[in-house]
Amino acid sequence: MSSTAVTNNSACGQFAGMLNMCASETQRQVVDTSHINVNIGSLKNNQALFGQWLVGLVDGDGTFSITQNKHNQSWQFTFKISLHVKDKPLLALIKQKLGCGSVTHAGNNNWQYRVRDRAHLLNVIVPIFLQYPLHTRKIYHFELFHKALLDPSRCAELKSLWHDQSSLDGALERQVQAMQFRKPTKAWVIGFIEAEGSFYVTKRHKDVSLLFPTGEYCHGFGVTQKRDKHILDFLCNVLGIVAKARYNKSNTSWVLDTTNKRSIVNIANYFSDTILGSKHLEYFLWQKALFNENQRKDMFFMQELQSKLRSLRKEID
């Protein structure tokens, strides 16, 4: 083991044993999970699938940071996942599976899973992201974070590069190229959609008619990304979405939205029995109405479902 790695026997979670490797190791041990049925049970119980799912969640809602203490000038390393209070049980599951870190209140209706111990970061957290690399440009911050962990004397130097736009753009380009030969797994997609996806109902036509006195409503699915358009392009292919990502100038983001019936059915089938967090309820209500013809064609019901899904979304946002 490298002299910079810190051994700590308290990191005794399920991943600590599986990922007992040098923190500076760059050679990935690829685990083939293509033969495993991905569902709620396997995501919770299969270590490889859980690791891939976790990376997807982090690509959406996770952060790596290095900060300097203003009082004693020491450096603090933090890996964090922040979610709504409704997903506190999901954060507790992550803590249980990894065997380290803490789940704490993060203000308002938000809670966070956080790891700050350098030994846990090097021996438990970092190896997960070496084995299952991130797919967004967030990999740039992970790489700086990892280098700082291995050599804390470089923290100031590495922190100065944190917001370097040229390097961030370069990382994004590398990820776009990597997508050609390193595709996200289904477990990763599920984790990412837990963080970034939206199952919703929208009014197809604003005008009312004798046939649709409340207006015509339909199912929709959407994902938004600030920079990582390649992720949306990949989702189009894997989910069978006909629509293409479009750029929204008002919030300077890339948006992938679809109400196409065939695409919606593909999406509903893809995520069946897979969502671990609070978004499970949003998906369940959405897909139940989709496959119930009486509900799907009842515009009064669909209008109520739209309100219910918006209420669920508003609580989380």
Is residue 72 exposed (0-12), middle (13-18) or buried (19+ Cβ within 10 Å)?
exposed
Tokens of 104: 């704490």
Domain ranges for the chain: 14-134+136-181, 196-316
Residues 226-283 pLDDT 10s: 999 999 999 999 999 999 999 999 999 999 999 999 999 999 999 999 999 999 999 9
Answer whether residue 118 shows pLDDT above 80. yes
Q: What is the mean pLDDT of the chain?
A: 90
According to CATH, what is the number of the domain 196-316?
Answer: 3.10.28.10
E-strand ranges in the chain read 62-68, 75-84, 102-105, 110-115, 197-205, 216-225, 246-248, 253-258
SS3 call for 83: strand
Residues 10-66 pLDDT 10s: 444 545 544 443 333 334 555 777 788 999 999 999 999 999 999 999 999 999 999
Q: Quickly name the fold that domain 14-134+136-181 has.
A: Endonuclease I-creI (3.10.28)
Tokens of 33: 């999970």
Check if 14-134+136-181 and 196-316 are the same fold. yes
DSSP state of 164: -
- Beta-strand pair 62-68/110-115: unpaired
